[in-house]
Amino acid sequence: MEYQSDLEIARGVSPLPIEEIARGLGLAAEDWEPYGRYKAKLTHGLCARTADRPAGRLVLVTAISPTPAGEGKTTTSIGLADALRRLGHKAVLALREPSLGPVFGVKGGAAGGGYAQLTPMEDINLHFTGDIHAVTAANNLLSALIDNHLQQGNALGLDPRRITWRRCLDMNDRALRHAVVGLGGAAGGVPREERFEIAAASEVMAVLSLAAGRGDLKERLRRLVVGQTGDGTYVTAGDLRGEGAMAALLDNALQPNLVQTLEHTPALVHGGPFANIAHGCNSVTATRTALGLGDIAVTEAGFGADLGAEKFIDIKCRQGGFKPSACVLVVTLRALKYHGGAEKGQYERADGEALSRGFPNLLAHAETLRDRFGLPVVVALNRFPGDGEDEVNRLLTACRSRGLRAAVSEVWARGGAGGEELARLTLEALEEPSTLRFAYEEELPLAEKAERIVTDIYGGAGVQFDPPARKTLAALQREGWGRLPVCMAKTQYSLSDDPKKRGRPTGFTVRVTDVKLSAGAGFVVVYTGEVMTMPGLPRVPAAESIDVDENGLVRGLY
């Protein structure tokens, strides 16, 4: 069979007009606003009404520790939802929006792949409905207000050396990690150091994704901490009177986006925080709306269960009142070989020993979901065309011998039809009792919450706090922020904070280098190892292969 790219496959399928997708969900004309033929925004009124409806069951899709290319969580989520609809269930997807950083970097888009994709793929991966641009604008408006306040006399006494608010950009650009602004003389502003982060890591993105409505959004924006005065008093966006204008910029972006899969399953795509440097979940509003519109909502948390799933449970479930009924753990043979010591270029070779050495990584994530969080688990082997039958069977047998449901997922090659076995096992898991447990209690001090995550979720020996980080944690504890959850910023490639430690490392210590209060989002960010909030481009960026022809057709997206 001739190979087709994701983009070619997507263009070979005719999407339904978005009004048909909306009608299939039982929506009236006043419940949605069209964005062209195949995209729509759901109204604030609809989202408020569905929040009061009986909720469907929630399936959380997560993964083992990934390779740099990712393991196909979005593809699996889409294929699973398509398969559930094939089996007669009213499934609705709730997924994150792609960031332009990975699209033009190394990982590619986030609209799925093969025959398990969202459409229109080009729109979703590039500008979509402008939500992330709105996040960037609102974030940088606050930065402009800060610098203008300094220029106009600094009545609040904000210390330029203690400004913690960062500008953002939805692009990988390492040159902006550390910068100086305000140069050019008296008319150019007050000189100070500045740092940029990618928009997906900004607190405004977290606020958009966690806000329960217009009022909650504005209140969260008001609480955003931008820095401190000389005596340590916090200065907020509310002090700068910026929350109203920021909310105005974000009002349209707060509405979830409605699109469809290649098999016409409805998908709410909204919010896009990264899971290694942010909380990694789509919006509370989209998930709640999906639960109100379908009998099963399929959602995804970024990267492995140590990152995305932990934050989904300890942050999003706490704030949004969600309770997953089952989890799907995505695994690939190449990732297991990667964790078993195989290097790039060797993943496609048959290597039972590497597979066995990498299997403990899968077990670590499965045990986290099942034993720590109390959720039924289904392992989904995302099968690649070159995967051998012997290794596939070997993995399935290993999973089942440890009491784990496991199915081969061939949704990339076959769409929903290739996910029916996975869907049946997921339906079985949904009938099991689900007793959601958090990784830590709210009353636990912040430092101990970080310790609990490292020891109980990552499997480490403990935490080493750099003196400034320990001092900040102690100050936040004294100042009354101790009940907030912690959002760990950590490499996605290892259970530890060292990406070179593959598999299931033990005895390691995680180094905490920095701590930041995200009062608007409602959590404390704990930075570990050498994780950065502004990624850089690789030696050969994907951007070099992306183009648009004279007819307006985009090429090179994947």
Residue-by-residue pLDDT tens, the chain, 558 positions:
466 888 888 888 999 999 999 999 999 999 999 999 999 999 999 999 998 777 789 999 999 999 877 789 999 999 999 999 999 999 999 999 999 988 998 777 789 999 999 999 999 999 999 999 999 999 999 999 999 999 999 999 999 999 999 999 999 999 999 999 999 888 899 999 999 999 999 999 999 999 999 999 999 999 999 999 999 999 999 999 999 999 999 999 999 999 999 999 999 999 999 888 889 999 999 999 999 999 999 999 989 999 999 999 999 999 999 999 999 999 999 999 999 998 877 777 888 899 999 999 999 999 999 999 999 999 999 999 889 999 999 999 999 999 999 999 999 999 999 999 999 999 999 999 888 999 999 999 999 999 999 999 999 999 999 999 999 999 999 999 999 999 999 999 999 999 999 999 999 999 999 999 999 999 999 999 988 899 999 999 989 888 999 988 888 887
Q: Is 107 a catalytic residue?
A: yes
- Which residues sit opposite 331 in a β-bridge? 381
Residue 435 in any domain: the answer is: no
Annotated active-site residue in 39, 41, 57, 73: 73
Residue 534 in any domain: the answer is: no
Annotated active-site residue in 50, 62, 75, 528: 75
Annotated active-site residue in 111, 275, 406, 450: 275
Q: Is 285 a catalytic residue?
A: no
Query: Taking a C-beta distance cutoff of 8 angstroms, is the pair 306, 338 a contact?
Result: no
Cα torsion for 64, 69, 74, 76, to the nearest 10°? -60
Annotated active-site residue in 104, 165, 303, 322: 303
Annotated active-site residue in 96, 311, 334, 383: 96
Q: Same domain for 11 and 103?
A: yes
Domain coverage including residue 157: 132-250
Q: In this predicted structure, what is the pLDDT of residue 52? A: 78
pTM tops 0.75: yes
Query: Of the residues 250, 273, 290, which one is the last residue of a structural domain?
Result: 250
Q: Same domain for 223 and 295?
A: no
Q: In this predicted structure, what is the pLDDT of residue 2? A: 60
Residue 447 has, within 13 A of its CA and on its CB side, a CA count of: 19
Q: Is 303 a catalytic residue?
A: yes
Q: Is 312 a catalytic residue?
A: no
Tokens representing 290 are 């999906």
Annotated active-site residue in 48, 372, 384, 455: 384
Query: Of the residues 363, 395, 430, which one is the last residue of a structural domain?
Result: 430
CATH code where residue 301 lies: 3.40.50.300
Residue 364: Cβ within 10 Å count:
23
Query: Of the residues 430, 457, 483, which one is the last residue of a structural domain?
Result: 430
Q: Same domain for 416 and 280?
A: yes
If we measure between CA atoms, which residue out of 478, 482, 486, 483 comes closest to residue 514?
486
Q: Same domain for 196 and 150?
A: yes
Annotated active-site residue in 128, 373, 412, 523: 412
If we measure between CA atoms, which residue out of 541, 262, 211, 242 comes closest to residue 413?
262
Q: Same domain for 421 and 503?
A: no
Annotated active-site residue in 39, 85, 107, 504: 107
Q: Same domain for 158 and 239?
A: yes
Domains held by the chain: number: 3
pLDDT in tens, 301-340: 989 999 999 999 999 999 999 999 999 999 999 999 999 9
Q: In this predicted structure, what is the pLDDT of residue 110? A: 83
Q: Is 501 a catalytic residue?
A: no
Walk across the sheet containing 234-236 and list its strands: 158-163, 225-229, 234-236
Q: Same domain for 345 and 273?
A: yes
Q: Is 90 a catalytic residue?
A: no
Distance between CA atoms of residues 510 and 529, nearest Å: 7
Q: Is 75 a catalytic residue?
A: yes
